[in-house]
Amino acid sequence: MKPQSLTLDDERPRPDGPDRVSYHHHLARYRFAFKNMKGGERVLDAGCGTGYGSRLLREKAHSVVGIDNAPQAVGYAREHFAGPGVAFARMDCQRLAFPSSRFDLIVCFEVFEHLESHDDFLMECLRVLDPRGRLILSTPNVVTADVHMKSIGQSNPFHINMLDLSGFRRVLNRHFREVQIFGQRRRGNRLYSTLRALDVFNLRLRLLPNGQRERLQQAFEVPVGEAAVPDYWVIERSQLRQANQFVAICVR
């Protein structure tokens, strides 16, 4: 895994942090996982960051263990979110210090793109999952991410192993017998959803400057900036090529 940042706020949003947009974006994925839990699971939150998602999952889980490779994040998580049934540890996601079949569910959000070997991580997941266990995993869509970053003249040095839709599906299918892939995007009005569904080549990202795109989004009732709270994110099995993030539910 690429060496991690020495600050909390790089790649690890938190409820009291300065980046409310990233926090709401991440929280929407934890809410998606929560809705898809059966209840009573033993959960591993791999790459838990600052721990708020682990605490949310505990409301339905039997127990949650959150792990992260950054000591600052683990310290913050222990201080703010540890409690009965919720524990945190510093650990490398590709070398899990747990016995086999330890968990019923693994959630792993926005970690996959940081890993040098996707296969090594997925094999570790399979080892520590119960034979009937599941993995809920997210990662950015490299197609939309690249276009967006170029449009604002930035890059992300932490994202070292990004995937498009076919690559994401291919690597997951190597390890899991059943894979369902969803796309995360902002909610807008009906016209926005229709136009976005037609934009399979992501021309809105390629042709429109960032500022103009945001003004058009507002005209289509699409929340931008801090207005994009978790309820305004959609995670569905449609418009996958246009998705900001892929979210997969994988069954052993």
Query: How far apart are the C-alpha atoms of 82 and 209, rounded to whole Å?
Result: 43
Each residue's pLDDT tens digit, 73-100: 999 999 999 999 999 999 999 999 999 9
- Residue 4 in this model has a pLDDT that exceeds 90: no
Local confidence band at 7 (pLDDT 50, 70, 90 cut-offs): low
Query: How far apart are the C-alpha atoms of 23 and 78, rounded to whole Å?
Result: 18
Average pLDDT in the 98-115 region? 96
For each of the domains in the chain, give its residue range(s) and CATH number, in order of start.
20-251 (3.40.50.150)
- At which residue do the structure tokens 């070997």 appear? 117
Average pLDDT in the 22-48 region? 96
Average pLDDT in the 107-126 region? 95
DSSP 96: -
- Residue 64 in this model has a pLDDT that exceeds 70: yes
Instruction: Tell which phi-psi region holds residue 47, choosing left (phi > 0), alpha (psi between -120 and 50) or beta.
Output: left
Cα atoms in the Cβ-side hemisphere of radius 13 Å centred on 173: 8
pLDDT for position 207 = 66
Question: What share of the chain in percent tops pLDDT 70?
Answer: 86
Other Cβ atoms closer than 10 A to 171: 19
DSSP 141: B
Higher-scoring residue by pLDDT: 187, 42: 42
Average pLDDT in the 112-121 region? 94
Q: What is the residue-averaged pLDDT of the chain?
A: 88
Asked if residue 29 lies in contact with residue 138, where contact means CB atoms within 8 angstroms, the answer is yes
pTM score over 0.75: yes
Local confidence band at 3 (pLDDT 50, 70, 90 cut-offs): very low
Each residue's pLDDT tens digit, 209-222: 777 767 777 776 66
